Amino acid sequence: MSEIAVIGAGYVGLTTAACMSHLGHEVACVDVVPEKIERLRRGDVPILEAGLDELVQEGLRSALLHFSLDAAGAVAQAEFVYLCVPTPQGLDGSADLSYIEDAAREIGPFLQPEAIVINKSTVPVGSTRVVEQALGRGDVPVVSNPEFLREGSAVHDFMHPDRVVIGADDQGAAIRVAGLYLGMAAPLQVTDPASAETIKYASNAFLATKISFVNAIAAVCEAVGADVNDVVLGMGYDKRIGNAFLRPGPGWGGSCFPKDSRALVRIAEDAGYDFDLLKGVITVNDEQFERVTDKIVTRAGGSVEGRRVAAWGLTFKARTDDTRDSPSIEILRRLRARGALIRAYDPAVPRSTEDDRLADIEVVDDPYAACADAEVLAVLTEWDELKWLDFDKVAETMAAPRVVDARNLLDRNTLVRRGFEYEGIGRT
């Protein structure tokens, strides 16, 4: 068992702290927001992550997991200090490292001599050096240990990683950090910090590339009269392609892909390489928002000026409550700009939600209420429960039974039999 401090209690930090305490380590999880720490001390988890509540309760019961506002006090006892603070996108597209530098400067003087700082935040290549300088210590190694957690399955992904990547110049530090993951049946890769940081960006950028590729293929399918679902199925049998992350949709979003793809373009440019391919991936994604918006307007009869549009889905994907960089909201914003009146339902976004991203979108707590008098229904996230709703009832409440299924979630034949006009993505 080791003493661990985790700086930052967001999606990554809270998941890391709860999972590490579940593995038997003594963990102090630190944040700067008093209300968040008070809620966590009561076992009230502020984010929707399957299994996280249980692990936080377990850690509090076993007294292996503590929440604190005192970073200095937490790191003074710690052998390992995880940095899990945000690295938001700066105005110029590069990653903003101010949070991680501030955290490093704050804890530097209080670290034990044999401590190791583990950087889990997604940071540009070379940032390990930046953290080392901000720590102001020559005796504390900094190790890169990027996270590969998907929101909505963060606990599962932490406990069952496809791989653990450790980037360190100090082999002794790499071995000690590797010891934290010995309980996990996953390949362990030890490399240098720059390679570890690049693995993270390259992995996210490649996943975004797969999605933009399938969204572009969906447009081709519409043009040539093919069905993208069959095309993806046929592609996926090829083990070199696989069928994961080849689901067409409204475009990719969330707190990672948009930020990381732009940051990687910038990192490459700063290093002298013009990453045209990745710029194309980003362009295709921006175009997808407009394509789906156009589909909805066309399906509503060519204009949504002063007319109602129903939306199912506000978050950036199903099984999360996160609306950051949500394609759903981007599309609804574009519809608002064309004069639409929006009423939206999302299983993870209650009407009472205080979220300025939802300005001038009427949020309701019932999927049928969202459809009242709507000219068209836009399905924007792939919540499974939406498939099993009563579509006769949906048709009755709408001004006209028309649906744009931006996730190819619903069964087209069922809807057509019920008198709906149905339009998906990549399906003629």
Residues recognised as catalytic: 256
Q: What type of residue sits at position 53?
A: D
Decide if residue 383 touches ligand UDX (CB under 6 A). no
Name the DSSP class of 95.
Answer: B
Q: Measured over all CA atoms, what is the biggest interatomic distance in the chain, rounded to whole angstroms? A: 71
Question: x/- contact string, 128-167, with ligand UDX (CB under 6 A)?
Answer: -------------------xxxxx----------------
- Asked whether position 245 contacts ligand UDX by CB under 6 A, the answer is yes
DSSP β-ladder status, 308-312 and 188-191: unpaired
208 φ/ψ sector (left φ>0, alpha ψ -120 to 50, else beta): alpha
Q: How far apart (Å, rounded) are the C-alpha atoms in residues 349 and 366?
A: 11
Whose tokens are 């933009």? That residue is 212
- Contact region for ligand UDX (CB under 6 A) — 172-180, 252-260, 349-357, 367-375? 252-260
198 near ligand UDX, rule: CB under 6 A: no
Q: Which is nearer to ligand UDX, 289 or 422 (CB)?
A: 289
Q: Is 257 in the site for ligand UDX (CB under 6 A)?
A: yes
- As a whole number of angstroms, the distance between CA 271 and CA 123 comes to 15
Q: How far is the CB of 176 from ligand UDX (least distance, A)?
A: 24
Closest CA to 181 of 166, 193, 170, 198: 166
For ligand UDX, the binding residues in 301-330 under the rule CB under 6 A are 316-317, 327
In terms of CB distance, is 75 or 216 closer to ligand UDX?
Answer: 216
What CA dihedral angle connects 199, 204, 207 and 212, to 10 degrees? -130
Q: Any contact of residue 252 with ligand UDX (CB under 6 A)?
A: yes
Residue closer to ligand UDX by CB (options 50, 175) is 50
Q: Cα–Cα–Cα angle for 52, 37, 12, nearest 5°?
A: 45
Cα 73 to Cα 106, 219, 395, distances in angstroms? 11, 55, 60
Tokens (6 digits) for 13? 């930090």
**Which of 115, 164, 205, 256 contacts ligand UDX by CB under 6 A?**
256
Per rule CB under 6 A, count of chain residues that contact ligand UDX: 20
| Closer residue to ligand UDX in complex, CB, 60/261 | 261
Pick the piece of the chain touching ligand UDX (CB under 6 A) from 78-86, 95-103, 178-186, 240-248: 240-248
User: Does 213 interact with ligand UDX (rule: CB under 6 A)?
Assistant: no
Residues at the contact surface with ligand UDX, assessed by CB under 6 A: 147-151, 204, 207, 211, 245-247, 249, 252-254, 256-257, 316-317, 327
